[in-house]
Amino acid sequence: MDLRRLRPALLATAVFAGCGEPQDGPPIHPVSGRVLVDGAPAVGAEVVFHSTQTLGTVTPPPTAIVEPDGAFRPSTRTAGDGAPAGEYRLTVVWRGGPGLLADDAGGGEDRLRGRYARAETSGLQATIRPGENVIPPIDLKAAKSRR
């Protein structure tokens, strides 16, 4: 058998096998919640779920951007799909100025001054179970201005 003729077919098979929706890793469960700062929506804040157990190297940490009403839905593999079951420590970083929409919140200083930016010290936790998960509202305290 001539391996030079088989090579294109093998390469095409390998390429097409890697296409499509990712199926590797643990099942993902729907998650929703709200983030408020002193009772007001933390529009554009980034919420990251840091697993307290090993989920494997393929699964990225579930991440969400807070919407204008304070709601968030973390994404693991596709937009808003949720998170694998497990215990998490959460971090929240809120960059940019007041009134930003989620799409505008890219740069700038953390308006919470790093108070909730480290999983080890944020004090924020969540347990994700199989099925629908609704996290109770997370009401953070604004950082005092350094003047």
Average confidence (pLDDT) over 91-104:
68
Contact 115, 124 (CB under 8 A): no
Structure confidence by residue, pLDDT tens digits, 20-78 = 445 678 999 999 999 999 999 999 999 999 999 865 554 689 999 999 999 999 999 99
- Would 124 be classed as within a structural domain? yes
Mean pLDDT of the chain: 81
- Would 128 be classed as within a structural domain? yes
Decide: residue 25, CB within 10 A, 0-12 exposed, 13-18 middle, 19+ buried: middle
Strands 83-84 and 40-41: unpaired
Please report the pLDDT score of residue 101 as a whole number.
46
User: Which residue segment(s) compose the domain that 126 sits in?
Assistant: 29-140
Spatial CA neighbour of 27 closest among 124, 131, 104: 131
Domain count, the chain: 1
Phi and psi dihedrals of 126, rounded to 5? -150, 145
- Would 110 be classed as within a structural domain? yes
Average confidence (pLDDT) over 110-127:
96
- Would 90 be classed as within a structural domain? yes
Please report the pLDDT score of residue 10 as a whole number.
37
CATH (domain of 99) = 2.60.40.10
0.85 exceeded by the pTM?
no
- Would 14 be classed as within a structural domain? no
9: pLDDT strictly greater than 70: no
